[in-house]
Amino acid sequence: MSSNKKYWKSVEELSDSSMVEALKQNEFSEDIPVEGFLEDKQVLDESSTSRRDFLKYVGFSTAAATLAACEGPVVKSIPYVVQPEQIVPGVANYYATTIADGFDFANVLVKTREGRPIKIESNRLAGANGAANARVHASVLSMYDNTRLKSPQVGGKDTNWASFDKQLADKLRKTSGKIVLLTQTFASPSTKKLIDEFASKYTSVSQVVYDSVSNTEALNAYEQVYGIRGLASYDFEKADTIVGIGADFLGDWQGGGYDAGYAKGRIPQDGIMSRHVQFEANMTLTGANADKRVAVTPSQQKQVLAALYGFVMGYSVNASLPAPIKETVKKAAQQLKAAGSKAVVVTGIQDKDAQVIALAINNKLGSKVYDADRPKLTSQGDAKKVAALVADMNAGRVGALLIAGVNPVYTLPNSKSFVDGLKKVGTTVSFASNNDETATLCEFVATTPHYLESWGDVEINKGIYSLVQPTIRPLFKTRQFQDTLLQLIGSDLTYDAYIKNVWNTSILGGASYNRALHDGVFKSNKIAKVVASAESEEADEEVRETPVFTSSFVTSVRSLTSAKAKGLELTLYTKTSMGSGNQASNPWLQELPDPITRASWDNYLTVSKADADSLGLENENVANGALNGSYATVTVGSVKLENVPVIIQPGQAKGSVGLALGYGRKQGLKEEMQVGLNAYPLYQNFNSVQSVKVDKASGVHEFACVQLQKTLMGRGDIIKETTLEIFNTKDKPAYNPTPMVSLDHEETPVTSPDVDLWDEFDRSVGHHFNLSIDLNACTGCGACVVACHAENNVPVVGKSEVRRSRDMHWLRIDRYYSSEETFEGDNEKKEGFAGLGENLSGFGEMEVASENPQVAFQPVMCQHCNHAPCETVCPVAASSHGRQGQNHMAYNRCVGTRYCANNCPYKVRRFNWFLYNQNDEFDFHMNNDLGRMVVNPDVTVRSRGVMEKCSMCMQMTQKTILDAKRDGRVIEDGEFQTACSNACVSGAIIFGDVNDKSSKVAKSLESDRMYHLLEHVGTKPNVQYQVKVRNTKEA
Amino acid sequence: MRQVKHRNSVSKLLLLGLAFLLTFSTTITYAQADAAKGKELFNSLCAACHKRYKKATGPALYGVTERHSTEWLYKWIKNSSALIASGDAEAIAIYEEYNKTPMNSFPQLSNGDIDNILAYVMEPKPEKPAGAVPVAGAQAGGGSSDSSATNSIVLGLLALVLVVLIGVLFLVNKTLRKFAQANGVELPVKEERKPIWKAFIENQFLLLVSAVFFLLISGYFVYGFLMQVGVDQGYEPVQPIHYSHRIHAGENKIECKYCHSSARVSKHSGIPSLNVCMNCHKSIAEVAEETQAEGLAEYGVDYNKQIQKLYKAVGWDAGKQVYTGKTEPVKWIRIHNLPDFAYFNHSQHVMVAGVQCQKCHGSVEEMEIMYQYSPLTMGWCINCHRETNVNMVGNAYYEKIHEELSKKYGVDKLTAAQMGGLECGKCHY
């Protein structure tokens, strides 16, 4: 009986048992979503592997792996058959060469190991031209880019050079129309001669030089005044007063490379340093470094220039400017006049009138800051000719187009009509190393080598010649543009022989070619003196004698003063990291944060707070701190750029916006690198200033910023600042007080041994390394960050990881804004807080940066504390201290507890959350054999789960010591270097041995400006900072 | 009678001997010359370019007296270029044949010396030296098996004797028991005792002690096993070319750094590139016969074949004495593998510290095949750094630091450890 009894679980079961039955059969109402991790559902269903089988497989494979691990791998070593004399495995060779990619021109030294280039350094022999910026430092990685083309192509198919030459020569011979060479600025005497020879061999050949970022107006102005198509070459070291109007000369303005000289003038010596006033719209590196920065829109910049011209010349110009700005201009003019020949005015306004007037002011002042005899020749492009070419192409007048070193389909603002025109050209040849936007549309692709695989010569400044020599055999079947030209004219010379001929006959004048090749640079003294041309000379004379306008100047000034803004004004600029976009496929550069916004892997519209509010654009920090921003649609005339992410930029002039060029490349590079938006379509008429319409668009953009806080919050002890006046007149405690701590309720300096927790170790024996960072000289250029990447095998982690604050930079350059007008104002405000309420609200206010803040940069790396907090908390003693002052990190000992990072007050330790090499999730250079060739063999490549940090380039100091020991000599000051100090051409980072009392760094330790970061914590760092001094003296 | 007979035989023998000598003295003039002295001279002066039975830089010299007159040879050897200049047809022919490479002049040689050399080079090639060796080997092998066979026979006999003795003992015992029973002698009955293993199991204390003991012993061995994982001391892989350090560094006393020259300046000692081998092996295409025999007998390796492997790799045509340009780089198997996270610099140790190569690599000059002599563990490095005094004399770099450190530690000599040679970051970065 009892067996028949039935229990109900619910009323439903009693009433409708069928439904319950169905539910019973189907425990889960829908399938468990396993596709996400088991990928192919079908395969999964069909497979007969049971759970037991799975466990068996796991067991066996674990056992097999364990057994296999007992047997060591067999490592093979293959020596040379015939070893080249100069190559010794394990010893680095250096070669002098020159980068000239059309945007960056610099004399560099290339460090090679076992025949492969691994690092770029500045060529100090070349002076100012030898200053390698971040992009030049990173250029070595661009050679090991595995998206490079590996052989020449015809019609999209790989071919060999013999057949390529035959087909191309046939086609060219049959060409009826014009043959046009559309090239970058080569600035190369040999290439010029070669192109002339090519022109004489074929009929109707012409060359159009095209700079993707144009300097046409400045070139025209210079040509008008001095009769040479070039750009003035400035030496800001000689300048006592600098007035910049929209000229980002610490960035890429007119070729850049001016930061070294500028920085030298910024270090106060004998109570003197330069005074720098900057008028600009975007917040640039230059404005950030200026003593006084005035935010003005591009149209106001013209007014400023006109007004300045008037004040310098001594008559009134009717410039429509707000009174305070006018006052500033007036004071600047007074200071310019006071400095006389040591004053200079520079402007980045893309307008011939403006450029001529700037030259006229300098002429009037008698400025000796630039050398008129040796103008820069690195920008030769002519916007008009490029426009004419596009018209010709569309009219079918071009028979063959040879494109070398430029990517017009990507960089031309009227790219569409260029593409249309390209279809009407009979023969199209692209000389490219990647299958970029232009190469994919060309019939012939003549694959070119990287500059480190090439020969060449460059005349960067007039009469200053440089040589390019290969530092490795070509990795692929590539051939230089010039070698292809030589083939086409039927010469049997190679380009290197050709260069040698040209140099021996017309450049060297009897000097040794090998010597020039060794130095990388040759300065010819046989150059003609250049004087301002008769016409402008006359004009200047008149101006000088009587304050009367010549007709041209009248119109010039009048055209400047008539400038008016129509709506928002957009200033297109190039970023420190990306430049014109030549190296978009370089992961080091993509990950290098912008010095101002600190955002990596992106370009964006910079908008002032006021404009953002009125347009409804927003920035917010999400839960993990990462920055999100609104999207905007930017319209210039008929061109519309959609979904442009917006960053609200303190210091952006109201009524102006900024956007970086060089991003948004889509062809010939990995998907990871296809970031940002192409802003070139907005670069109408090659003018970097455009009036735009900005509208809010829907959606939220996720930025990857490496720094999230903006202001210094009144913590004046992090970046100590003072004015030149106080620095000159007062003693150290007034501007650089030693922090006091309480000992038995008495104020005691933190440097006193009585307050120390630890016994002091005797550091007077042997070397004791210190790194000194001069905040006055640091411009924030970021060259050191890339140099550190290259030297120390720092991995690239990608955008999403950077957004999670997992960037691996060993060296970061912190950027701080002031919340009040000045940092001093912040300090005062903070000191003045009374009571809790004011504290809370006050600090809240201080989180917001000022509309036009002061900016300070601070490079921060491991501080190598003598009393290091990280060392005491490591449970496995992976972090320990060396006698020479370096804090050692033994990766093989680290178990990844991350206690050290948590206990580090400077937050300079980096954790390897993942394996960043040979991991498909991080498909950057370390994930392919080619990219890994850049790895420095002296430094360990770290694995997952270990902590890493700056080692103060232990491998470099050890090498210097070893070399001295082997030679049996004493080490001199300057021999010890780190990657960052070596890369820093501005002299902001100095490295050396403080036990060598004659060394620079020992002297800087004694300097009144010296302080340590967070000194009150008592960590006793081995990195010194030098107080930032601003020259605030107005007129 | 006996004595006379004896005397006769002696005189007969002498006579025969005289006749023999006389006959041969007419046929071979060089018999007076001393081939042993000739060999010495040949090895020191001629062997760089000539071989006896094979063409090298110069022609094979066996049979040279049949090709040229002795007088001509005297002139040629003493001053070949003069002979060529004089327009001698024979001389010019040879000069042309050997790519106009003139032979060195040896004016220091007397005619007697030249006779000695000629006597040596005219010795006929010994018959079948290769065949002789395996025979010798077989003999040696046979000999050893013989001795082992006798040993086992003796042992077998002994064992047999032992078995017989045991059998006898058992039988005697049995007989004695029978006798005892027959005589009514009562044998003592064995008491039933607890088995020892049971007693052991019941004794808790003993069990615990032995368990602890067992665990400790096994722990010791497990630890020992784990510590040798990744330590390849004694690693002796078979290399693509059987290269004998014993011959090169031992017998020929070639300095280590002649081949491993980068040890002077670099962190790597470097495997010499093949052009370094060819510095000598251009003229050494074959090893000496004794060496060859020794190689075959003791190491089972044909050294000449190994040299041929080198020629193939470097693309050297020994017959024509030219490089063909076809190269096949040698894939050596690396023996000393430091992990990537450890930095070691050869020049630091070899040049600055003056450490002998043998200190870490063992007596390489006695190694037929290179093997890893040292464990290359961190403990091994550290021990040496603790014990070794740094060689500071006459090195300006060390002057100041030595003065300061010796004051600090109160010692005159400083170990590498006192110099900071134990710091993690000195080797790990």
Between CA B233 and CA A534 the distance in angstroms is: 84
- Chain A, nearest residue to B422 by Cα: A882
The CA-based diameter of chain B, rounded to the nearest angstrom, is 124
Q: Taking CB atoms and an 8 Å limit, are A89 and B331 in contact across chains?
A: no
Q: For A222-238, what is the mean pLDDT?
A: 89
What pLDDT does residue A135 have? 94
- The answer to whether B278 and B288 have CB atoms below 8 angstroms apart is no
**Are the beta carbons of B313 and A886 separated by less than 8 Å?**
no
Tokens at B35, concatenated = 């081939």
d(CA B260, CA B268): 9
Minimal CA–CA distance to A143: which of A478, A378, A377? Answer: A478
Q: What percent of chain A has pLDDT over 90?
A: 68
Work out the minimum CA distance from B344 to partner chain A, whole angstroms: 10
- Give, in order, the Cα–Cα distances in Å from A320 to each of A245, A281, A299: 16, 17, 10
The predicted pLDDT at position A427 comes to: 92
Q: Indicate the residue of A75, A955, A968 with minimum beta-carbon distance to B396.
A: A968
In this predicted structure, the answer to whether residue A316 has a pLDDT above a threshold of 60 is: yes
By the 10 Å C-beta count (0-12 exposed, 13-18 middle, 19+ buried), B232 is classed as middle
Distance from CA of B213 to the nearest CA of A (A): 28
What is the C-alpha to C-alpha distance for residues A472 and A80, in angstroms, rounded to an integer? 16
- Closest partner residue to B429 (CB to CB) among A765, A878, A954 is A954
Q: Which residues contact A621 (CB under 8 A, 6 or more apart)?
A: A627, A628, A708
Give one word for A91, left, alpha or beta, with left for phi > 0 and alpha for psi -120 to 50: beta
The residue of chain B nearest to residue A889, with distances taken between CA atoms, is: B425
pLDDT score, position B12: 63
pLDDT tens figures, A468-503: 999 999 999 999 999 999 999 988 999 999 999 999
Question: Which of A77, A88, A893 is closest, CB to CB, to B271?
Answer: A77
Q: d(Cα A792, Cα A787) in Å, to the nearest integer?
A: 8
Distance, in angstroms, between B291 CA and closest chain A CA?
A: 27
The lowest-confidence range among A236-240, A449-453, B316-320 is B316-320
* Residue A876 near chain B (CB below 8 Å): no
In this complex, the residue of B235, B265, B331 whose CB is nearest that of residue A78 is: B331
- Of A348-352, A880-884, A900-904, B142-146, the poorest mean pLDDT is in B142-146
Least CB-CB distance to A83: which of B273, B345, B425?
A: B273
What distance separates the 2 farthest-apart alpha carbons in chain A? 129
**Which of A782, A770, A774 has the alpha carbon at shortest distance from A811?**
A782
ipTM given for this complex: 0.83
Q: What angle do CA A107, A373, A687 make, to 5 degrees?
A: 75
Q: How far is B310 from chain A (nearest CA, A)?
A: 10
Residue B127 has a pLDDT of 64
Which among A74, A81, A90 is the nearest to B274, CB-wise? A81
- What value does the mean pLDDT take over residues A243-268? 91
Q: Which residues contact B368 (CB under 8 A, 6 or more apart)?
A: B244, B245, B246, B298, B299
Phi/psi for B402 (5° steps) reads: -65, -45
Contact B273 A882 (CB under 8 A): no
Fold of domain A721-1030: Alpha-Beta Plaits (3.30.70)
At residue A161, the pLDDT reads 94
A84 touches chain B (CB under 8 A): no
Superfamily of domain covering A234-365 = Dimethylsulfoxide Reductase, domain 2 (3.40.228.10)
Amino acid at A256: G
Among B278, B387, B282, B268, residue whose Cα is nearest residue B334: B268
CB-CB neighbors (< 8 A) of B401 in chain A: 765-766
Q: What angle do the packed helices A783-792 and A134-143 form, to 10 degrees?
A: 30
According to the model, what pLDDT value does residue B27 have?
Answer: 44
Identify the burial level of A549 via C-beta atoms within 10 angstroms of its C-beta, where 0-12 means exposed, 13-18 middle and 19 or more buried: middle
Q: What angle do CA A485, A486, A492 make, to 5 degrees?
A: 160
User: Nearest-5° angle of CA B320, CA B326, CA B330?
Assistant: 110
If you count residue pairs, one on A and one on B, with CB atoms under 8 Å apart, how many are there?
152
pLDDT of residue A2: 54
- Which residue of chain A is at minimal alpha-carbon distance from B393? A968
pLDDT over 80 (residue A543): no
Q: What is the pTM of this model?
A: 0.83
Does residue A613 have a pLDDT over 90?
yes
What's the gap in Å between the CA of A960 and the closest CA on chain B? 11
Q: Which residue of A has its CA nearest to B344?
A: A938
Query: Under an 8 A CB cutoff, do A88 and B265 touch?
Result: yes
Contact assessment for residue A966 and residue B352, using Cβ atoms and an 8 Å cutoff = yes
Q: Stretch A57-81: mean pLDDT, rounded? A: 82
The SS3 of residue A522 is: strand
User: Do residues A802 and A672 make contact, with C-beta atoms less than 8 angstroms apart?
Assistant: no
Closest CA–CA distance from residue A676 to any residue of chain B (Å) = 36
pLDDT of residue B141: 41
Is B352 in contact with A962 (Cβ distance < 8 A)?
A: yes
Secondary-structure percent of chain A, ordered helix, strand, coil, rounded to 5: 35, 20, 45
Looking at beta carbons, which residues of chain B come within 8 Å of A940?
340-341, 428-429
Between B339, B347, B423, which is nearest A882 by CB?
A: B423
Using a CB-CB cut-off of 8 Å, the residues of chain A touching B397 are 961, 964-965, 967-971
- In this prediction, residue A650 carries a pLDDT of 93
CB contact under 8 A, B429 and A969: no
Q: What pLDDT shows up at residue A548?
A: 33
CB atoms under 10 Å from CB of A176, counted, come to: 9
Q: What is the mean pLDDT of chain A?
A: 89
Put simply, the answer to whether B347 touches A966 (Cβ < 8 Å) is yes
Are A962 and B345 a contacting pair at CB < 8 A? yes
pLDDT at A173: 87
Least confident piece of the model among A547-556, A956-965, B185-194, B216-225: A547-556
Of B314, B395, B426, the CB nearest to A958: B426
Domain layout of chain A by residue ranges: 1-71, 234-365, 568-705, 721-1030
Task: With beta carbons less than 8 A apart as the criterion, state whether B411 and B421 touch.
Answer: no
Mean of the pLDDT values across residues A775-795? 94
The DSSP bridge partners found for residue A785 are: none
Parallel, antiparallel, or unpaired: how do β-strands B316-317 and A740-743 relate?
unpaired
Contact residues on chain B for A888, CB-CB shorter than 8 A: 423-425, 428-429
| pLDDT of res. A539 | 44
pLDDT greater at residue B93 or residue A642: A642
Cβ-contact A140, A110 below 8 angstroms: yes
Contact A70 B429 (CB under 8 A): no
Q: Which residue of A has its CA nearest to B337?
A: A75
CB contact under 8 A, A884 and B420: yes
Residue B308, SS3 per DSSP: helix
Give residue A842's pLDDT band: very low, low, confident or very high (50, 70, 90): confident
Residue B187 to residue B179: CA distance in whole angstroms: 12
Answer positive or negative: Cα dihedral of B310, B316, B317, B320. Answer: negative
Inter-chain contact B400–A888, Cβ cutoff 8 Å?
Answer: no
Q: Is the pLDDT of residue A65 over 90?
A: no
Q: Please give the distance of CA A816 from its chain centroid, rounded to a whole number.
A: 19
Which residue of chain A has the CA closest to B405? Answer: A765
A92 and chain B in contact, CB less than 8 A: no
Question: A1011: which strand partners?
Answer: A1025
* Chain B, nearest residue to A884 by Cα: B420
Is A88's CB within 8 Å of B330's CB? no
d(CA A79, CA B330) in angstroms, rounded, equals 7
Q: What is the pLDDT along chain B (429 residues), one digit of tens a residue?
A: 444 445 555 556 555 655 555 554 444 445 467 788 888 888 878 877 787 777 777 788 888 888 888 888 888 888 888 888 888 888 888 888 777 777 888 888 888 888 888 888 888 777 654 444 444 434 444 444 556 678 889 999 999 999 999 999 999 999 998 888 888 887 777 777 888 888 888 889 999 999 999 999 999 999 998 888 888 888 999 999 999 999 999 999 999 999 999 999 999 998 999 999 999 998 888 888 888 998 999 899 999 999 999 999 999 988 888 899 899 999 999 999 888 899 999 999 999 999 999 999 999 999 999 999 999 999 999 999 999 988 888 889 988 888 888 888 888 888 888 888 899 999 998
User: Of the candidates A72, A951, A966, which has its C-beta nearest B351's C-beta?
Assistant: A966
Residue from the list B229, B262, B333 with its beta carbon closest to the beta carbon of A89: B262
Of the candidates B334, B340, B396, the beta carbon closest to that of A940 is on: B340
Enumerate residues 53 to 82 of chain A having a beta carbon within 8 A of any beta carbon in chain B: 70, 72, 74-82
SS3 assignment, position A477: coil
Sign of CA dihedral A958, A964, A968, A971: negative
Q: Look at B329 and A765 and tell me if their CB atoms are within 8 Å.
A: no
CATH of the domain spanning A568-705? 2.40.40.20
Residue A955: its chain B contacts at CB < 8 A? 343, 429
Instruction: Give CA–CA dist A197/A75, Å, rounded.
Output: 53
Neighboring chain B residues of A966 at a CB cutoff of 8 Å? 265, 347-348, 351-352
- Of A703, A680, A700, A695, whose CA–CA distance to A604 is shortest? A703
Q: Which residue of B has its CA nearest to A961?
A: B397
Nearest CA in chain B to A792: B429
Dist. CA B13–CA B9, nearest whole Å: 6
User: Distance, in angstroms, between B316 CA and closest chain A CA?
Assistant: 11
The candidate with the shortest Cα–Cα distance to B422, out of B398, B375, B376, B387, is B387
Q: Which is more confident, A697 or B64?
A: A697
Which of A 602-641 lie inside 8 A of B, CB atoms? none
Residue B109 has, within 13 A of its CA and on its CB side, a CA count of 26
Residues of B in contact with A971 (CB under 8 A): 397
Backbone torsion region of residue A601, taken as left when φ is above 0, otherwise alpha when ψ lies between -120 and 50, otherwise beta: left
Query: In Å, how far are A161, A170, A398, A873, B140 from A166, measured between CA atoms?
Result: 8, 6, 21, 70, 73
| Type of residue numbered A491 | S
pLDDT of residue B182: 86
Assess contact for A692 and A635: CB atoms under 8 A.
yes
d(CA B11, CA A554): 140
In A, residues 529-548, which contact B (CB 8 Å cutoff)?
A: none
